């Protein structure tokens, strides 16, 4: 049986017919909906006659959802087409191909018609008809047999992925916005369900899974496949949402065809922006699985998200904090946590588990008190972060950066409570885009084999310290950001230039300034405390009262910071010294350390005059993967380096001689 690459290449060849009226980046506007349409046509072919007979019988007696339900049963699917046309018959009337194709699409049930509305396909039909290529495209697709007996559902999903990746490469867009490598999903799914064997083996078990950035639905399909292979008695209802029209339409059509569990009319895939148009508001789910776009900003949604954060706090979805506007990844995480099922076994509520793919940014971006840090703090202090897995670089189609899988749950095993596991799988990979193909696929030059997935899952399950796995307490990732101050040291000296500058602002203080100049002279003085006392005494004798602004201006004009000067004491009854803002520093003290002892050990030996301002303490959390898995490699001996350099010089000289001879 031909594999998915055969069919992908066959469909890709048809795209050449679009050259001219369409630029290559626009091919997907036609090829995706036509592939979906041909798949529907093949799936419905065996029941076509029965559906037409039922439509004849009930037309005029039933309408809307009632008629759709009756005809869906006749088709044996969650959709139908009651048009007498199919792809073979469309070929029979070239002169009216556009009208017939529109009529054929209108013959589908409402759920399929809605999908083609999101594809905006009627516009493309008109464009192809005007360019005289519509009949050719339909005829060529008629020769591609996409019947499920020939192309199983999983293979059909791979065809979609292959086509989308190629189209996005042409458009120089992010294919990763639409789907995730299958082996990454298999790893995520294996860990997501790994502790639920007993629960999923219980007869009658029904579970719900959500992907709020579902793209073409690859993660949902893999979750279904896993349950079908390992727990055939369990039922998993999958749900997804996406704001990309073509990705949503592809996912919705894929879910209609596949043999998946649905708890209704098949509207489990919904269109809209998860941040501002939550299509599952108020619902909870047992599992979450997603790969949100890396580094995508949320400027357009900022007002609504900020309003929810400020108005609803933790009663809404974004109470923990808001990340910087150029990366909304942590908003997706908060969105999903807000839909966690509570842990109430007596009510058959067993909590939730979540697997999400992130870039490195959410691990450490943002200092103490920032939105990102506050979100990490909220998750870790609630003991929801179970593990983070570092994946190899060059694993994704649209980027070569390092990626990480976060596992977040409100039902940790007893042995994991209060703990976080870091698992380093960055060197577990094989060359090539997949096990089937050793060539690169876009930026994807590496893949994880089935054996390597099993190794990672075993390391995860053992929950032991080792070379690739390390276990930490929650508090190990927290720190207190302590403000370290040093005293302000001022040198006083009056000069003609400074005197003129001050009097420009306060000319009426000329007599006082002349008196100060006469008493204190023009030599530098290194104790501002003593200088100011003498000036105050002098002003008191002269019965002059300066305003605060005048006093501040005097000090600003006639003093300079000088490390040789005496520290400036605080005014009034306060003890201590004024801090110098330019010398202010910060220390990140681990939560597991005593702050005073840390300060005496790490700061005072180097800066004896420093002190801590504990009123400005901030708690922060970050996960620095490299710090925990860094292995020092000593440099080579200098003798070896010198020998290599000498060899290189000799080789250069030899080549130069060959050129000149």
Distance CA 98, CA 51 (A): 24
Name the phi and psi angles at 194, rounded to 5.
Answer: -60, -30
Encode pLDDT of 235-282 as tens digits: 889 999 999 888 888 888 877 776 554 444 457 899 999 999 999 999
Q: Determine, yes or no, domain membership for 14.
A: yes
Distance CA 105, CA 107 (A): 5
Q: Determine, yes or no, domain membership for 390.
A: yes
Q: Are residues 144 and 186 in the same domain?
A: no
Determine contact, residues 390/425, Cβ cutoff 8 Å: yes
Encode pLDDT of 492-508 as tens digits: 999 999 999 999 999 99
* pLDDT score at 175: 39
Q: Determine, yes or no, domain membership for 148.
A: yes
Q: What's the rounded mean pLDDT across residues 287-314?
A: 93
Q: Are residues 294 and 209 in the same domain?
A: yes
**Residue of 73, 541, 545 lying closest to 65 (CA atoms):** 73
185 pLDDT above the threshold of 60: yes
Q: Are residues 40 and 84 in the same domain?
A: yes
Q: Determine, yes or no, domain membership for 391.
A: yes
Distance CA 545, CA 246 (A): 75
Encode pLDDT of 337-374 as tens digits: 999 999 998 888 889 999 999 999 999 999 999 999 99
439 pLDDT above the threshold of 70: no
Q: Which two tokens stand for residue 536?
A: 């105050």
Structural domain of residue 639, as residue ranges?
635-660
Final residue belonging to a domain, choices 170, 188, 223: 170
128 vs 25: which has the higher pLDDT: 128
Q: Which two tokens stand for residue 471?
A: 């276990």
Q: What's the rounded mean pLDDT across residues 538-560?
A: 95
Q: Determine, yes or no, domain membership for 207.
A: yes
Final residue belonging to a domain, choices 462, 480, 498: 480
343 vs 181: which has the higher pLDDT: 343
Distance CA 39, CA 156 (A): 9
Q: Determine, yes or no, domain membership for 587.
A: no
Q: Determine, yes or no, domain membership for 620.
A: no
Count Cβ atoms below 10 Å from residue 89 Cβ, excluding itself: 13
* pLDDT score at 127: 94
Q: What's the rounded mean pLDDT across residues 115-125?
A: 93
**Residue of 162, 569, 196 lying closest to 350 (CA atoms):** 196
316 pLDDT above the threshold of 80: yes
Q: Are residues 14 and 90 in the same domain?
A: yes
**Residue of 285, 281, 399, 299 lying closest to 351 (CA atoms):** 285
* pLDDT score at 435: 65
* pLDDT score at 3: 64
Q: What's the rounded mean pLDDT across residues 114-127?
A: 93
Q: Are residues 462 and 500 in the same domain?
A: no
Give percent of the chain above pLDDT 70: 94
**Ranges 153-162, 308-317, 381-390, 463-472: which has the least confidence:** 153-162
396 pLDDT above the threshold of 60: yes
Q: Are residues 292 and 192 in the same domain?
A: yes
Q: Are residues 305 and 375 in the same domain?
A: yes
pLDDT-based confidence at residue 63 (cuts at 50, 70, 90): confident
Q: Are residues 130 and 269 in the same domain?
A: no
Q: What's the rounded mean pLDDT across residues 541-562?
A: 95
Distance CA 568, CA 47 (A): 92
232 pLDDT above the threshold of 50: yes
Interacting residues of 296 by C-beta distance below 8 A, sequence separation 6+: 177, 327, 328
Q: Are residues 443 and 507 in the same domain?
A: no
* pLDDT score at 165: 72
627 pLDDT above the threshold of 50: yes
Final residue belonging to a domain, choices 155, 170, 185: 170
Q: CA separation (Å) from 138 to 33, 36, 87, 344, 363?
A: 12, 13, 7, 55, 49
Q: Are residues 152 and 79 in the same domain?
A: yes
Own/partner long-range contacts of 9-18 (Cβ < 8 Å, ≥24 apart): 10/144, 11/35, 11/141, 11/144, 11/159, 11/163, 12/163, 12/166, 14/137, 14/140, 14/141, 14/144, 17/133, 17/136, 17/137, 17/140, 18/128, 18/133, 18/137
Q: CA separation (Å) from 202 to 198, 199, 206, 257, 348?
A: 6, 5, 9, 27, 12
pLDDT-based confidence at residue 436 (cuts at 50, 70, 90): low
Distance CA 318, CA 310 (A): 9
**Ranges 20-34, 448-462, 500-514: which has the least confidence:** 20-34
Q: Are residues 460 and 496 in the same domain?
A: no
Determine contact, residues 422/628, Cβ cutoff 8 Å: yes
Q: Determine, yes or no, domain membership for 354.
A: yes
């Amino acid at each position: 049986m031909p594999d998915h690459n055969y069919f992908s290449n066959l469909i890709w060849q048809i795209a050449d017919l679009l050259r001219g009226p369409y630029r290559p980046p626009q091919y997907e506007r036609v090829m995706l909906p036509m592939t979906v349409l041909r798949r529907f046509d093949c799936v419905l072919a065996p029941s076509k006659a029965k559906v037409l007979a039922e439509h004849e019988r009930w037309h005029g007696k039933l309408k809307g959802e009632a008629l759709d339900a009756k005809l869906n049963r006749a088709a044996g699917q969650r959709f139908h087409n009651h048009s007498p046309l199919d792809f073979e018959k469309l070929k029979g009337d070239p002169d009216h191909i556009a009208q017939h194709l529109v009529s054929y699409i209108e013959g589908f049930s409402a759920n399929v018609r809605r999908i083609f509305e999101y594809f905006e396909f009627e516009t493309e039909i008109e464009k192809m008809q005007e360019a005289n290529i519509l009949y050719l495209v339909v005829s060529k697709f008629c020769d591609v047999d996409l019947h499920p007996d020939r192309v199983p559902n999983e293979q059909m999903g791979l065809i979609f992925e292959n086509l989308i990746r190629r189209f996005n490469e042409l458009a120089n867009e992010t294919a990763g916005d639409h789907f995730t490598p299958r082996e990454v999903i298999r790893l995520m799914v294996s860990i997501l369900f790994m502790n639920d064997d007993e629960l999923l083996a219980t007869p009658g078990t029904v579970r719900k899974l959500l992907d709020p950035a579902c793209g073409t639905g690859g993660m949902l399909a893999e979750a279904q496949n896993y349950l079908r292979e390992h727990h055939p008695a369990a039922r998993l209802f999958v749900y997804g949402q996406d704001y990309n029209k073509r990705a949503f339409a592809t996912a919705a059509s894929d879910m209609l065809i596949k043999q998946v569990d649905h708890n209704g009319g098949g509207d489990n895939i919904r269109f809209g922006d998860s941040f501002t148009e939550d299509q599952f508001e108020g619902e909870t789910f047992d599992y979450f699985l997603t790969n949100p776009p890396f580094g995508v900003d949320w400027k357009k949604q900022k007002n609504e998200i900020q309003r929810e954060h400020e108005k609803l706090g933790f009663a809404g979805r974004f109470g923990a904090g808001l990340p910087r506007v150029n990366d909304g990844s942590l908003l997706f995480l908060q969105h999903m946590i807000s839909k966690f099922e509570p842990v109430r076994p007596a009510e058959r509520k067993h909590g939730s588990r979540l697997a999400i793919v992130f870039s490195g940014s959410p691990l450490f971006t943002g200092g103490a008190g920032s939105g990102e840090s506050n979100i990490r703090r909220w998750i870790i202090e609630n003991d929801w972060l179970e593990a983070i897995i570092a994946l190899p670089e060059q694993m994704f189609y649209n980027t070569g950066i390092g990626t990480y899988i976060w596992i977040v749950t409100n039902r940790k095993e007893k042995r994991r409570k209060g703990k976080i596991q870091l698992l380093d799988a960055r060197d577990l990979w094989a060359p090539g885009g997949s096990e089937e193909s050793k060539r690169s696929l876009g930026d994807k030059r590496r893949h994880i084999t089935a054996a390597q997935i099993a190794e990672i899952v075993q390391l995860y399950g053992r929950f032991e310290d080792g070379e690739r796995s390390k276990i930490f307490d929650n508090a190990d990732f927290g720190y207190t950001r302590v403000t370290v101050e040093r005293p302000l040291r001022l040198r006083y000296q009056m000069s003609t230039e400074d005197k003129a500058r001050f009097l420009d602002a306060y000319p009426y203080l000329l007599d006082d300034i002349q008196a100060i100049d006469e008493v204190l002279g023009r030599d530098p003085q290194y104790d501002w405390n003593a200088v100011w006392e003498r000036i105050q005494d002098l002003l008191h004798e002269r019965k002059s009262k300066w305003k605060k602004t005048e006093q501040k201006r005097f000090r600003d004009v006639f003093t300079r910071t000088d490390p040789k000067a005496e520290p400036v004491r605080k005014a009034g009854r306060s003890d201590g010294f004024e801090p110098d803002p330019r010398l202010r520093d910060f220390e990140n003290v681990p939560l597991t350390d005593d702050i005073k002892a840390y300060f005496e050990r790490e700061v005072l030996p180097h800066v004896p005059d420093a002190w801590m301002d504990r009123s400005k303490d901030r708690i922060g959390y970050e996960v620095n993967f490299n710090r925990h898995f860094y292995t020092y490699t000593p440099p080579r001996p200098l003798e070896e380096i010198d020998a290599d350099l000498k060899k290189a010089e000799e080789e250069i000289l030899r080549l130069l001689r060959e050129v000149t001879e």
